[in-house]
Structure 1
């Protein structure tokens, strides 16, 4: 394992970030209670993609 460089994960697609952001904004979901499953269902994306989008938005990128 030594010598293998770990690259940071790729940013989620911008369309997915926009959909997740819209759901969070419209639902008024507070930061500590963001449920990836519920957001994913409302945004029409997978739970893992919703989770990636939430982390991406929280990182401020």
Structure 2
């Protein structure tokens, strides 16, 4: 959901630069502490933590 909000902000600016930077910092902190970086977890389905975080912090 966060990636969608940040992408929407690229088309119509409603987030402050400080808010975006704080969000990116928190995402980087989260992904650096993520222990399970598998894409598919048997019995549970798709996890994709790395892909979702990269979508959110991607710069156009």
User: When the two structures are superposed, what TM-score results if normalisation uses the length of structure 2?
Assistant: 0.36
Bigger proportion of residues as strand: 2
